[in-house]
Amino acid sequence: MNGEAPGWEQLGDEYPKLAEFERQFAASLAAKEEHEQKTLAEKKAAAERDLDIFYDQLTDKKAQKQAQNREHEEVLRNQFEHCDNPFERVMQLIGHGAVAPDMQIMHSLLVRLKQAKHDRD
The helix-helix angle for 86-96 and 103-120 (nearest 10°) equals: 140
Q: What is the DSSP letter of 22?
A: H
List the end-to-end C-alpha distance of the chain, in Å, as a whole number.
Answer: 95
Distance, in Å, from the CA atom of 16 to the CA atom of 8, rounded to the nearest integer, reads 9
The span from the CA of 29 to the CA of 99, in Å, is 70
Angle at 74 between CA 72 and CA 76, to 5 degrees: 70
- The tens place of each residue's pLDDT in the chain, 121 residues long, gives 454 555 556 666 678 888 889 899 999 999 999 999 999 999 999 999 999 999 999 999 999 999 999 998 888 788 777 777 776 676 666 665 545 556 677 767 777 877 887 777 6
**Residue-wise pLDDT tens digits, 50-77:** 999 999 999 999 999 999 999 988 887 8
Backbone angles phi, psi at 7, to 5 degrees: -80, 170
